[in-house]
Amino acid sequence: MAEEKIELEQREELLFHYLESQQIDAFRDKFMELHPYDQSVFFDKATPEQRKTIFTFLSPEEVADIFEANNFDDEEYQGLLEEMDPSYAADMLANMYADNAVDVLNELDKDQVVSYLSMMDAESAQEIKDLLHYEEYTAGSIMTTEYVSIPQSSTVRSAMTILRNEAPKAETIYYLFVVDDDHFLTGVISLRDLIIAEEDTLIKDIMNDRVVSVLVSEDQEEVARMMKDYDFLALPVVDHRKYLLGIITVDDIIDVLDEEASDDYSKLAAVSDMDTFDKSPFQAAKKRLPWLLILLFLGMFTANIIGVFEETLDQVALLAVFIPLIAGMAGNSGTQALAVAVRGIATGDIEEESKLKLLFREAGTGLITGVTSGILVVFLVYFWKGDFLIGLLVGAAISSSIIVATIAGSFIPLLIHRMNIDPAVASGPFITTINDIISILIYLGLATMFISGL
């Protein structure tokens, strides 16, 4: 592995030398030997000026392969396209698979989209237009119209002819989708089954008519879950009449899973979008600041609650020492429960009948961890400060806070999900802040009740 990395680095240095010295033939010979992904990595490392040279060395079709292989950040697409001549960029987009071209165009202004479409050939432009009107994050927005469909009345021989003609343009040929005369989906046949069948056999006699499909309006997360559950390489997309509109391939689903995971993780961290290392401090701060300001106001509310119990703290100053401990334990236990609930919702493991089971399980978990932590804290405080009553108070507060925080951590995302809101918005910082408030109320409330004994 290390040797391959060194060899690739040496090849990249050589390619940059060919670029700088304008040796087009030498550059093309070495560059075209690379895997498309390695080509895209090299392209990403190049400066804008070097990329402009690459555009003169490579055809739009070859650059389209680079864009297919590299998932650039959404905000990068516009800059990359502006480095190209407009007609070159339009030709490059036309040579991409339609669904991937749509992903790029969705990041541009409407005027730019119209401009690029007007410069494309009519067929490519129409394919892209057909996909552009589907709502983002649905099956329609990630499907491709470049697939192979076979009439159910055809023979294996004629199906093979169709396959040979359509395969160069298709995104995948491992599954062939069978349609009737009106293009309604009726079945599916694998490439393997097609190859081993007798040439005169009718497709409708060997196809699998128990075909699984998704509606064009289905959410992409649900599509990803289906692909995972069924281990499909491709999934047909239909309208409510079963009219075949396109297919979704496994590589698109991998992108969806990565996108959804990043989105959920960024929300759990209270960040609008997951920061990348190439972002400037100003860009990163602009995304994080709104969430931090919201949390700041929640923190001020927490501070105000502590102020309400100022008299209690004045009488027994030692109580203030344990506020961070109690708030931290409650926040940690709540975040643990939150992570379990959000993951269960995201993967579909939590159904209606198991939500109550999850709440009871988390309540039991909170009870066990809370009581155990509370008992341990009683003795630790006693040996540290020599005050059994303070230890008992802190232990009782920690036990109660952990139990409540654990239940809240699992209940809040379930409630938000029930309201058709992404449960990831019940992010770690929000749960932590809410549990801070609850734990401080419990702790100082108990202290106020039993202040005479302290």
State the pLDDT confidence band at 185, using cuts at 50, 70 and 90: very high
pLDDT of residue 114 exceeding 70 = yes
State the pLDDT confidence band at 434, using cuts at 50, 70 and 90: confident
Give the C-alpha separation, 419 to 426, whole Å. Answer: 12
In the chain, CATH 1.25.60.10 covers 2-133
pLDDT of residue 292 exceeding 60 = yes
C-alpha to C-alpha distances, 357 to 122, 249, 362, 410, 413, nearest whole angstrom:
56, 35, 9, 11, 15
pLDDT tens digits along 26-76? 999 999 998 888 898 899 899 999 999 999 999 999 999 999 887 677 678
Across all residues in the chain, what is the average pLDDT?
Answer: 84
Higher pLDDT, 103 or 268: 103
The SS3 assignment for 243 reads strand
Identify the H or E element spanning 326.
Answer: helix 323-347
Give the C-alpha separation, 62 to 27, whole Å. Answer: 13
Q: Tell whether domain 149-262 is in CATH 3.90.650.10.
A: no
For 199-269, where are the alpha helices, taking DSSP H only? 203-206, 220-230, 250-268
pLDDT of residue 157 exceeding 80 = yes
Q: Which of 151-165, 343-357, 428-442 has the highest mean pLDDT?
A: 151-165
pLDDT tens digits along 311-320? 777 777 777 8
Strand-strand pairing, 149-151 and 175-179: parallel
Q: What is the pLDDT of residue 262?
A: 62
Residue 359 near residue 414, CB atoms below 8 Å: yes
Q: What is residue 453's DSSP assignment?
A: G
pLDDT tens digits along 297-308? 777 777 777 777
Higher pLDDT, 388 or 272: 388
Q: Which residues are CB-contacts of 279 (< 8 A; sequence separation ≥ 6)?
A: none
Give the C-alpha separation, 219 to 226, whole Å. Answer: 11
Q: Would you give the end-to-end CA distance of the chain in angstroms?
A: 66
Q: Is 121 exposed, middle or buried, given 0-12, 13-18 or 19+ CB atoms closer than 10 A?
A: exposed
Q: Which fold has domain 2-133?
A: MgtE N-terminal fold (1.25.60)
- Write the DSSP assignment of 150-162 as a string of letters: EETTSBHHHHHHH
The stretch 134-158 carries a mean pLDDT of: 91
Give the C-alpha separation, 205 to 202, whole Å. Answer: 5
pLDDT tens digits along 199-227? 999 999 999 999 999 999 998 888 988 88
Give the C-alpha separation, 350 to 348, whole Å. Answer: 5
Higher pLDDT, 80 or 289: 80
Written as six digits, the tokens of 11 are 């090849």
pLDDT of residue 253 exceeding 70 = yes
Residue 338 near residue 431, CB atoms below 8 Å: yes
Q: Tell whether domain 281-453 is in CATH 1.10.357.20.
A: yes
Q: What is the pLDDT of residue 150?
A: 95
For 309-322, where are the alpha helices, taking DSSP H only? 310-315
pLDDT tens digits along 270-284? 555 554 545 567 666
In the chain, CATH 1.10.357.20 covers 281-453
pTM: 0.62
Give the C-alpha separation, 230 to 58, whole Å. Answer: 40
pLDDT of residue 250 exceeding 70 = yes
In the chain, CATH 3.10.580.10 covers 149-262
The SS3 assignment for 233 reads coil
pLDDT tens digits along 315-366? 777 778 888 888 888 888 888 888 788 777 766 666 665 778 888 888 899 8
Cβ burial 216-241 (10 Å sphere, 16+ → b, else e): bebebbebbbbbeeeebebbbbbeee
pLDDT tens digits along 409-422? 888 888 877 777 66
Q: What is the pLDDT of residue 247?
A: 94
pLDDT of residue 162 exceeding 70 = yes
- Residue closest to 423 by CA, chosen among 358, 364, 360: 358
Residue 302: CA atoms inside 13 Å, Cβ hemisphere, count? 21
Q: Which residues pair with 236 in a beta bridge?
A: 247
| Residue pointed to by tokens 């979008």 | 273
